[in-house]
């Protein structure tokens, strides 16, 4: 599956981009405070301490503004005129008045003394109380700082990373193919990877992506100010291709330069599948602790995205302030199915690696919300409002906006060693509804998956939808009896349709979307659907179909794609997408997408590898093709015994 599954060139419709935002600070504390939701954050405690200090100063300062006693005794305070201004003379009345005045002054003095005494006692008590509270706040702050330090070291209690014995899963490195022709083709794909990497290193090192025509860096707004997307995305591809020097330099860059404390708003979906997924996979393949620490650190920052009334996360997150929002073009402020539904695999592993259950709890709550909603015709619309918990417009797609939600339901069940019965049921129920309402066959015999808009079908299939052929085939084993026999065949039919979309172009690489109406089949009819941005979905399905059937045509089709990439996409500075796949002399978009190294080249390499490299019984691939290990029940038992 692709990284940027929403729109061409990873940007929202109409060119809407992400705004600037924030970075480190409070975001890094989210995970630590999850165990005590009511606790103050560090910044809040500092503010309270300042308020208390100001209040004490104000109270003590007030004592100097009390009326002076001499003025009280002189009668000025009580507005009595001086004796030389009163009418009349002395005598007894004057003496009596004087006596009364003296008595009044004595009484006033006594009252003033009592007022001062009470006031001072109240101030002392307030000071003692406030000082006690201030001391408690300071103790909390010191304790939090100590906890942060422990977390940074990866030790300590609470959510500090547990010491996990590393066991490299089966099949992290495979054997070379015995067939010399297959071995030669696989070596060619490795050369393509090296060419992509070397040019990125030469012209865009440390930046997110490469512009191969102009030979400079390219930065997508999807990552905010986080840099190094190509490095993190390519880590596991470098490892499984045994490009040891390149893997070592990538690891060194991650150790020294990968920084999430940035002032930025990011796509939660894209950062999760590329950065979190890439780091997790690199850890499980290599055992290098830096990858585990970085993955958990970033995962903690993403937790703020779930701070919505329903727990359905925001699409965009300011990772410094923790403030989230949704794409302005998304139906009435809705979150997107493919985005909030594509977190499960990574977050379950984050809980395991961090010892903090909150990651898994967050994604399980998403299922709870979805299961409490009525599904129109059993289908999942692409938009869900995170505040009201209600669907947005009823647009259903197995391509962009919906795709990887269905993939993750199936793979959550597989990753759980087939114990996640809820995920399994949700997946097969959804596939049954898709079969009934979306899958159609053209007059020319091509099976395709249409899009559903409020009950009306749009007979269009996106390049992104082509992943579904592999998904259907992968889910055949374990499907309900009335579906199992059909799903492998359905996967083969989707693979054939998507191959036709490639074969019917000038360059033998397929368009972003193709249609089945107006007398055309598997052809793009609109100019804004004719581009190819090095996407992997068709090759992904070839790889799954090869693994599950060993039908030679899938390797033949894959090699056709290799030749087309070399002929039409390879430039002096790397590989570029094509603006129009039907043009006799195609122009280039000048972007080497990070998912080209993470997915397209990896799936091609696996297509020409033996099944012992990342075998399906031990690994599942996230939607960015990052392999994550199956959580086998027996290995958990062994781990418990070793403690």
**Overall domain count for the chain:** 2
Question: What secondary structure does DSSP assign to 404-425, as a single string?
Answer: HHHHHHHHHHHHTTS--HHHHH
What pLDDT shows up at residue 319?
A: 94
- Do 257 and 365 lie in a common domain? yes
Domain CATH code at residue 521: 1.50.10.10
Query: Could you confirm whether 512 is annotated as catalytic?
Result: yes
| pLDDT tens figures, 470-520 | 999 999 999 988 888 899 999 999 999 999 999 999 999 999 999 999 899
Residues ≥6 apart with Cβ < 8 Å to 180: none
- Does 59 lie in the same domain as 19? no
Same domain, 19 and 104: no
- Residue 173 is assigned to a structural domain of this protein: no
Name the pTM for this structure. Answer: 0.77
435 or 156, higher pLDDT: 435
Looking at the predicted structure, is the pLDDT value of residue 24 above 50? Answer: no
- Do 358 and 477 fall into the same domain? yes
Q: Are residues 132 and 221 in the same domain?
A: no
**How far apart are the C-alpha atoms of 34 and 29, rounded to whole Å?**
9
Residues 348, 401 share a domain: yes
- 266 and 414 housed in the same domain: yes
* Residue 425 pLDDT: 97
Asked if 346 and 462 sit in the same domain, the reply is yes
Average pLDDT estimate for 226-231: 98
249, 391: one domain? yes
Higher pLDDT, 284 or 264: 284
The one catalytic residue among 209, 407, 512, 529:
512
Residues 118 and 229 in one domain: no
pLDDT at 485: 87
What are the contacts of 559-568 at 24+ separation with CB within 8 A? 559/185, 560/502, 560/508, 561/502, 561/508, 561/509, 561/604, 562/185, 562/188, 562/189, 562/192, 562/604, 563/508, 564/502, 564/507, 564/508, 564/509, 565/192, 565/509, 565/534, 566/192, 567/507, 568/507, 568/509
Residue 568: pLDDT over 80: yes
Residue 186 parent element (H or E)? helix 180-204
Q: Which residue has the tokens 């590898």?
A: 609
Predicted pLDDT at 98:
53
Q: What is the pLDDT of residue 481?
A: 87
Minimum mean pLDDT among 162-171, 249-258, 584-593: which range?
Answer: 162-171
Are both 14 and 56 inside the same structural domain? no
Instruction: Report the pLDDT averaged over residues 209-232.
Output: 96
Please give the helix or strand (H or E) that residue 551 lies within, else none. none
Q: Virtual CA dihedral for 243, 245, 246, 247, nearest 10 degrees? A: 80
Give me the sign of the Cα torsion angle 155, 278, 336, 492.
negative
**Full DSSP string of 121-151:** HHHHHHHHHHHHHHHHHHHHHHHHHHHHHHH
| Domain of residue 417, residue span | 8-30+185-642
Alpha carbon of residue 605 to chain centroid: 27
Average pLDDT, the chain: 84
- 305 and 351 in a single domain? The answer is yes
Q: What is the mean pLDDT of residues 370-374?
A: 98
- Give tens-digit pLDDT for 34-54: 333 344 444 555 555 565 556
Query: Half-sphere exposure (CA, 13 Å, Cβ side) for 226?
Result: 32
**When comparing pLDDT for 411 and 63, which is higher?**
411
* pLDDT computed for residue 253 by the predictor: 98
d(CA 541, CA 563): 18
């Amino acid at each position: 599956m692709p990284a940027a599954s929403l729109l061409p060139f990873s940007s929202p419709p109409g060119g809407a981009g992400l705004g600037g935002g924030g970075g480190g600070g409070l975001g890094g504390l989210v995970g630590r405070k999850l165990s005590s939701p009511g606790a103050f954050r560090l910044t809040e405690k500092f503010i309270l301490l300042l308020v208390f200090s100001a209040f004490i100063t104000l109270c003590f300062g007030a004592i100097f503004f009390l009326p002076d006693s001499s003025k009280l005794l002189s009668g000025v305070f009580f507005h009595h005129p001086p004796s030389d201004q009163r009418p009349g003379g002395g005598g007894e009345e004057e003496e009596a008045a004087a006596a009364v005045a003296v008595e009044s002054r004595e009484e006033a003095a006594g009252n003033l003394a009592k007022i001062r005494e009470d006031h001072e006692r109240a101030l002392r008590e307030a000071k003692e109380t406030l000082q006690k509270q201030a001391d408690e706040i300071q103790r909390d702050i010191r304790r939090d700082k100590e906890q942060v330090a422990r977390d940074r070291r990866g030790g300590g209690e609470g959510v500090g990373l547990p010491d996990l014995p590393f066991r490299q899963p089966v099949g992290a490195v495979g054997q070379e193919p015995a067939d010399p022709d297959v071995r030669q083709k696989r070596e060619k794909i490795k050369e393509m990877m090296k060419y992509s990497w070397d040019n990125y290193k030469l012209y865009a090192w440390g930046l997110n992506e490469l512009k191969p025509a102009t030979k400079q860096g390219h930065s997508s707004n999807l990552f905010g100010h986080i840099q190094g997307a190509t490095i993190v995305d390519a880590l596991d591809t470098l490892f499984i291709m045994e490009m040891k020097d390149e893997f070592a330099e990538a690891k060194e860059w991650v150790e020294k330069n990968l920084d999430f404390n940035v002032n930025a708003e990011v796509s939660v979906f894209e950062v999760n599948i590329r950065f979190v997924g890439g780091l997790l996979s690199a850890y499980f393949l290599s055992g290098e602790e830096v990858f585990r620490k970085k993955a958990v650190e970033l995962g903690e920052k993403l937790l703020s995205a779930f701070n919505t009334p329903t727990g359905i996360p925001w699409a965009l997150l300011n990772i410094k302030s923790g403030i989230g929002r949704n794409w302005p073009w998304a139906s009435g402020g809705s979150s997107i199915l493919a985005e909030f539904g594509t977190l499960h695999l990574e977050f379950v592993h984050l809980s395991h690696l961090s010892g903090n259950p909150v990651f898994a709890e967050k994604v399980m709550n998403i299922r709870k919300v979805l299961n409490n909603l009525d599904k129109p015709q059993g289908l999942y619309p692409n938009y869900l409002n995170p505040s009201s918990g209600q669907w947005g417009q009823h647009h259903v797609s197995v391509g962009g906006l919906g795709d990887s939600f269905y993939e993750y339901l199936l793979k959550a069940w597989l990753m759980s060693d087939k114990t996640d019965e809820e995920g399994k049921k949700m997946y097969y129920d959804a596939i049954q509804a898709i079969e009934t309402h979306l899958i159609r066959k053209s007059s020319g015999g091509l099976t395709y998956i249409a899009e559903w808009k409020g009950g009306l079908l749009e007979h269009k299939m996106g390049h992104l939808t082509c992943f579904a052929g592999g998904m259907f085939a992968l889910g055949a084993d374990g499907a309900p009896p009335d579906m199992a026999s059909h799903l492998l065949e359905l996967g083969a039919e989707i693979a054939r349709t998507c191959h036709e979309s490639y074969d019917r172009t000038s360059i033998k690489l397929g368009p972003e979307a193709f249609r089945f109406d107006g007398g055309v089949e598997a052809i793009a009819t609109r100019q804004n659907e004719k581009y190819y941005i090095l996407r992997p979905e068709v090759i992904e399905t070839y790889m799954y179909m090869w693994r599950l059937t060993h039908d030679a045509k899938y390797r033949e089709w894959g090699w056709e794609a290799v030749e087309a990439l070399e002929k039409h996409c390879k430039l002096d500075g790397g590989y570029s997408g094509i603006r129009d796949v039907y043009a006799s002399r195609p122009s280039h978009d000048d972007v080497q997408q990070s998912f080209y190294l993470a997915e397209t080249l990896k799936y091609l390499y696996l297509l020409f590898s033996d099944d012992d490299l990342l075998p399906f019984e031990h690994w599942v691939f996230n939607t960015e093709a990052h392999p994550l290990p199956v959580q086998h029940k027996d290995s958990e038992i062994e781990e418990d015994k070793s403690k």
